[in-house]
Structure 1
Amino acid sequence: MNFPFFIAKRYLFSKKSHNAINVISAISVCGVALATLAMVCTLSVFNGFQDMVATFFTAFDPQIKITSVKGKVFDGSTPVFSEIKTMPEIAVYSESVEDNAMVQYKGRQVMAVIKGVEDNFDKLTPIDSILFGRGELILHDEVVDYAIPGLQLLSTLGTGIRFLDPLEIYAPKRGSRINMSNPMSSFVSDQLFSSGLTFTVNQEKYDASYIITSIGFARRLFQYTDEVSAVNLRLTPEADEDAVIRKLQEKLGDEFRIQNRYEQQADTFRIMEIEKLISYIFLVFILMIACFNVIGSLSMLIIDKKNDVQTLRNLGASDNQIVRIFLFEGRMISFIGAVSGVIIGLVLCLIQQEYGIISLGNAGSFIVDAYPVSVHTWDVVLVFVTVLIVGFISVWYPVRYLSRRLL
């Protein structure tokens, strides 16, 4: 066995001449363990919120979305898109048209995004999971077109879920200037009737401004023919998403943008990643403060073991071996604290996942009652490695400095 490691292990677990040194060593281990536990739990909670938000977007956004790099719309009837439609990896192919329009209801006006979708939209995404009301999922019939507005938009307009009068929709005519003497002649107007349904994904971006309707209505309103704002795809279960995206990019070239669900909400997830990174940095600073306890414990141990050091020297131990004894001591404290913190942190995360002990408070005010938790293996590895690196570095210089001064 390594001689310095053997002596360091004896020093760590044996009783010291002064009981205070044992207490400080235990406090040092607990300090590192608590900092490690906090890092594991905090990062797991951030992961839980991120996974939860991703489930909401999944119900509204397609698995893969193809949009034009230049301009709002593009021609969806070209041969390349016909070829994409027949790809074996594509389970659902659906086009959509969306743009801004003004919505009016009984004198109340609001700007909204009209999203026209095809009839197979319910096969593209699990839209049923975010719909509320007593109507049927129908976008149009032979006579009229129907609207499925966001819940906050209904509140702004004051319509209620099942409104009696139709929504008046106004959009400017393409390529024409506003006639100041008769402004209404510069707009295309149409009506949307109540479907008895509304949707909510608990994101203001959607709930406060989106109206889902038929793609035919959107094309009439915005004066399009075969143009589409996006081509939306759902893949077969066995398809490799990354491989399909690469194949699509090769077919379409640089003129089109191909995004998965996370890329469609890049801003939201980027903010969450930044918040997670900042929390991680703050927790590393807390960990560094906890490591000062380790330095204090080692300095008292060095003073306590002066006579032992002289004995070891008489037995032939070199100064380098003696310094390594105390380095191993500090590293073992960091290692034991890291292992203990990771284990306890994982146990607490498991308990929170199963029982939701720590609640968000004000039941019913939040989407979930308790803090969501999702443990990611790489986060646990990152925490463990961080604790070891910070712990090892924090004891290296103090041990060498104290060894020169006190021994």
Structure 2
Amino acid sequence: MNFLFAWRYFRSKKSTNAINIIAWISVTAITVGCAALIIILSVFNGFEELVKGLYTDFYTDIRIAPAKGKVLKLDAVQLQKIRSVNGISVVSLVAEEKALLVNGPYQTIVLVKGVDEQYTATNKISEHIKRGKFLLGDAETPQIVLGYGIENAIGADVEHSLYPLTLYTPNRKAKFNSLDGLSVNNITASGTFQVQQEFDNKYAFTNLAFFRYMLNMEADEYSAVEIKVKQDENRVKEALQQLLGNNYLVQTRYEQNKSLYAVMKMEKWIIYAILSLILVVAAFNMIGALTMLVLEKQKDIAVLQAMGASKKRIQSIFLSEGLLLAGVGAVLGMILATIFCWIQIRFEPIKLAGDTFIVKAYPVKLMPADYLLVLATVTAIGFIAAWIPSRKASKQELALK
């Protein structure tokens, strides 16, 4: 019954036209606020999915690294136990260290990963080769795959290279300030990958046997073990941590990039809070519209009181009116946002500036959770905004004359 009264008051023409205008201004503001919230949250969802997809292509499901230092020791028995853990699909051994890569007058610092034959089965890095091929060579004839930014930094050409590159790596067994503190070797560039700028400017790949030789590693020494799983990675992580003990750091993909995911979530919530201010501004318009409506409907309130309506009933009627205004604005905003996002997904009319992005248009992903969040926000703000004028209406003592 409360909403029947509210719907009638919403549709009926008021004696003062300003009441209608203010009411529709509040509905429009809520519509714009809801649409903006859903669109922005959907864009954040799109970028988050894009970044996660790129990180999924580069990082493995689980990584085992030393809890202290740069080198972990794993003998054949330990490796066999790791491979036998239920849920593990592929195990890859990695040696990793910073190195100096030189091409004639050009040079740059890179993070080189020496990987075994199983590495490309743990992630999708080989699918991001832009030029050349993902060839790593062997211990005698090493080859290197460069990030796109590294190739540009040293002026290399992986498809038409006449001379090999020179790789300088630290010799862990050399004495401090010794002239033998660096290992030097020539290496041929075979390909270039392009995932995203963070990786393209930092990483290069070569074969494990060659790079372990360059780093002077023992037979049972590695930098990390990277693993692909075929079931719940958290369960596999717990099993590995229990097997290896506290001297080994076992991390899931999320834990390897915990700060990134935390920042992305924080940015999304900050934007949500800022855009919610639009709805707060709309709430002030709603308070004004409902206050004027209470003054407009004083005779109706008097009739209801004469018929025995309680103060709670009268308050509920005007509270329902406020929720109705908010609800109409929310529904219109959701419809508008859905249409806008569908157009962007289908036709991509809004492009990203520049040519350095992997995607050409703003990515968008609609999620039901965002709709529920926005609806809950509008309901809460609408309820608070309607409380003040509805409370005032219930306290009025009017009489019919």
TM-score, normalising length: structure 1 = 0.90
- Aligned residue among 186, 191, 200 for 1:207: 200
The answer for the alignment partner of 2:372 in structure 1 is 381
Query: Shift in Å at residue 72 of structure 1?
Result: 1.3
- 2:181 paired residue number: 186
Percent identity of the aligned residues? 36
Q: Which runs of 5+ in 1 are unaligned?
A: none
CA offsets, 1:165-184, max 9 Å, x none? Answer: 222222232254433xxx53
Tell me the amino acid that sits aligned with residue 144 of structure 2: A
Moved more, 103-112 or 252-261: 252-261
Secondary structure of the corresponding residue to residue 337 of structure 1? helix
Structure 2 contact 139–207 (Cα < 8 Å) conserved: no
Aligned match of 1:304? 296
Contact 1:146 1:194 in 2 (8 A): yes
Question: Residue 217 in 1 paired to residue 214 in 2?
Answer: no
For residues 211-268 of structure 1, the C-alpha deviation after alignment (integer angstroms, 9 at most, x for no partner) is 10011122111111221111111123xx223322232233233333332323222222
Deviation at 1:401, TM superposition (A): 4.5
Match of 1:36 among 34, 38, 49: 34
- Give the structure 2 partner of residue 253 of structure 1: 245
Q: In 1, Cα distance between the equivalents of 2:170 and 2:397?
A: 83
Match of 2:224 in 1: 230
2:364 maps to 1:370:
no
| Separation of aligned partners in 1, 2:325 and 2:311 | 22
1:103 aligned counterpart, secondary structure: strand
Cα distance change of structure 1 residues 351 and 311 upon mapping to structure 2, 3 Å threshold: same
Partners of 1:367 and 1:177 lie apart in 2 by 45
Output the CA distance in 2 between the equivalents of 1:346 and 1:322.
Answer: 36
User: What are the residue-to-residue correspondences of 1:100-111 with 2, within 5 Å?
Assistant: 100-111=98-109
State the Cα distance separating 1:334 from its structure 2 match.
Answer: 1.4
User: More deviation in 71-80 or 382-391?
Assistant: 71-80
The partner residue of 1:159 within 156, 160, 167 is 156
Q: Which residue of 1 aligns with 2:25?
A: 27
Q: Which amino acid aligns with 1:229?
A: S
- Say which SS state the counterpart of residue 149 (structure 1) adopts: strand
Letter paired with 1:151: Y
Pair 1:77–1:308, CA change in 2 (3 A): same
Question: CA offset at residue 405 of structure 1?
Answer: 7.5
Cα 1:248–1:394 shift into 2, 3 Å:
farther
Q: Is the 8 A contact 1:138 1:146 kept in 2?
A: yes
SS in structure 1 at match of 2:158: coil
Structure 1 residue 6, shift from structure 2 partner:
3.0
In structure 2, the CA distance between the partners of 1:406 and 1:230, relative to structure 1 (3 Å rule), is: farther
The 2-side partners of 1:142 and 1:288 are apart by: 66
Q: Would the aligned equivalents of 1:302 and 1:403 in 2 still touch at CA under 8 Å? A: no
Q: Which amino acid aligns with 1:393?
A: I
CA distance, structure 1, for counterparts of residue 203 and residue 356 of structure 2: 23
- C-alpha change, 1:194 and 1:345, in structure 2 (3 Å) is same
Match of 1:343 among 314, 335, 340: 335
Q: State how many pairs are aligned.
A: 396
1:185 match: secondary structure: coil
Bigger drift between 366-375 and 245-254 goes to: 245-254
Show the 5 A alignment for 1:61-76: 61-76=59-74
Matched, 1:198 2:192: yes
Q: Does 1:137 align with 2:131?
A: no
- Supply the distance in 1 between the matched residues of 2:393 and 2:306 (Cα, whole angstroms): 21
**Does 2:347 align with 1:352?**
no
Q: 1:253 to 1:338 in 2, by over 3 A?
A: farther
8 Å contact from structure 2 (residues 85, 240) kept in 1:
no
CA shift, 1:81, in A, is: 3.0
In structure 2, list runs of 5 or more residues that go unmatched: none
Q: What amino acid maps onto 2:104 in structure 1? A: K
Instruction: Return closer, same or farther for 1:323/1:88 CA change in 2, 3 Å cut-off.
Output: closer
